[in-house]
Amino acid sequence: GLAFVRRACPRRVCAESLGGHATAASLASARRFGANVLRLPCPDAWSLLRGQLVQPFFVFQTLCVCLWCLDEYWGYALFTGLSLLGFEWTVAYGQVRRVRQLREAAGRGDDG
């Protein structure tokens, strides 16, 4: 079988390797590569909803609702259409809520 070989690493060497960069090296890296920042833009729920309403499957469902309205199923069709809109709204709002939670977990809040 496979054997795991443990390599010897003196504690002093391991402890020194965890120290990070010196201040000068850190500043030089920041100038060269830029700030180490992850920006999560918080999307608007309305823009997400507009994007979802033009998806092919939703358009197909909307056309089916229109056909049902023409064929004496207008009560069922209206209920289904409102249900579809409600579902799409909850999906869009859920995405906004998850992005806000990620931003709060990162300690950034709503400031950008």
Query: Secondary structure of 23-34 in the HEC alphabet?
Result: HHHHHHHHHHHC
Summarize pLDDT for 16-34 with one digit per residue, the tens: 555 566 677 778 888 898 8
Q: What is the pLDDT of residue 38?
A: 74
Low-confidence ranges of the chain (pLDDT < 70): 1, 7-22, 108-112
pTM (two decimals):
0.59
The one-letter amino acid at 86: G
